[in-house]
Amino acid sequence: MKKSDSGKPAMLRILRELSHSRDLYRAFCDTMEMIALAITNGSDWRQFEKREKRYLEIAGQYTEAELLEVSHFLGHLVDAMETAPGDYLGEMFMELELSNDAKGQFFTPFCISQMMAGLIVDRENVARQVETQGFIRVLEPAVGAGGMILAQEAVMREMGLDGKTHVTAIDVDIKAVHMAYIQLSLAGIPAVVIHGNTLTLEQWSRWYTPIHIWEGWGRKLDRHEQLEALDLAAALVGDAQLDLFGEAA
């Protein structure tokens, strides 16, 4: 690793060096998948065996020196995300001009995502939901690299409500799933990133961020859904009584 560079320039250099023995698009995709697998294998033991096998399959195509560079890439990304969370992976994908290889796939610049998040987040409603139920839930049906989620979390931090959002994110492209999973994991956002098709409701894999597992968000969400079901049942009973007797019991 060269000590003279850091951050995005260092990550771009590493990706270009990895492309000396393979095309740049493959180097990028392999790097994203190996890092995503390394993160999930440190927390999601239920899927460890299958994913560790996949990790070793990809790693076997790289030299020890190249794998060391992949670890350096992750180190630079961790440092960047700790300094200022942002859509570094989406930005690098565009800077490397890989959209042609991905059939024109485009990742929204993070500054645009930040502007949109500032406009669409209903701060009063969000604060009310957090006060009444402890957190809010966000569904992102086409997550890309996760830039919009990261921008929204920045708004939540400004409100003093960081860590109060759970995200369910979906994308049909496994590369985007890996990118989003990496960045949401490093940003400490509890999330389930689904490789699936939002329109057909097909699902092929689920990626749980470490904090989702460590903080028991599966149980929290189950409990929340049970309470919502009880509230709905109570409302339906009340409506039925109103229909029968003309007034609420």
pLDDT at 1 (0 to 100): 43
Contacts 24+ apart (CB under 8 A), 35-43: 35/70, 35/73, 35/74, 35/77, 35/178, 35/182, 36/177, 36/178, 36/181, 36/182, 36/207, 38/74, 39/181, 39/182, 39/185, 39/210, 40/181, 40/207, 40/208, 42/210, 43/208, 43/210, 43/213, 43/214
pLDDT of residue 84: 87
180 closest CA partner among 166, 164, 193: 193
Per-residue pLDDT of 29-71, as tens digits, reads 999 999 999 999 999 999 999 999 999 999 999 999 999 999 9
- Biggest alpha carbon distance in the chain? 79
Question: Which has the minimum average pLDDT: 5-9, 98-102, 112-116, 237-241?
Answer: 237-241
Q: Is the pLDDT of residue 24 over 90?
A: yes
The DSSP symbol for 47 reads: G
Identify any residues that bridge with 192 across adjacent strands, giving them in sequence order: 168, 208
- Residue 156: count of CB within 10 angstroms of its CB: 21
Reported confidence tier of residue 228, pLDDT bands at 50, 70, 90: low
Q: What residues does each domain of the chain span? A: 7-95, 110-215
Count of other CB atoms within 10 angstroms of residue 165 = 20
Local structure of residue 46 (DSSP, 8 states)? G
Q: What is the CATH number of domain 110-215?
A: 3.40.50.150
Contact 95, 126 (CB under 8 A): no
Contact status, residue 34 vs residue 26, Cβ threshold 8 Å: no
